[in-house]
Amino acid sequence: MGKHRRPGPPNQPSRVVPRVDASDPLAAYEKRRKAPMEVWRRHQPLHGGASHLRPDEPRALEEWDGFAYVPAGTADDLAAARAWVNQAAGSETATE
């Protein structure tokens, strides 16, 4: 067995980790403050379980504050929770 290597040509930098702007002293800090998987808002069932099961039960709404997910409220059912998440996604893309 040979050594494990990264895929791609050896003369090119790895694409696994996104580049950090060297001229911005806070670039690495800002990269760490991004929400996991770019999910800024999420919902979870109050009584546990998968999110698609029992769609008529209430959901806990959580929002990313730069360090962790914090409670943002509750929704009556799955449809209301998804509307809340999608509302945020639509408004963020409109401002950027």
Residues 22-59: tens digit of each pLDDT: 788 887 777 677 777 778 899 999 888 887 888 999 99
Domain range for 59: 38-95
User: Could you tell me the strand order of the sheet in which 69-75 lies?
Assistant: 41-45, 59-64, 69-75
Q: What is the DSSP letter of 15?
A: S
Q: Give pTM, 2 decimals.
A: 0.61
Contact (Cβ atoms closer than 8 angstroms) between residue 41 and residue 80: no
What's the confidence (pLDDT) of residue 48?
84
- Is residue 81 very low, low, confident or very high in pLDDT (cuts 50, 70, 90)? very high
Number of domains observed in the structure of the chain: 1
* Single-letter amino acid code for the residue at 57: E
> Contact at 8 Å (CB) between 81 and 46?
no
Q: Is residue 2 part of a domain?
A: no
Assess if residue 7 is contained within a domain. no
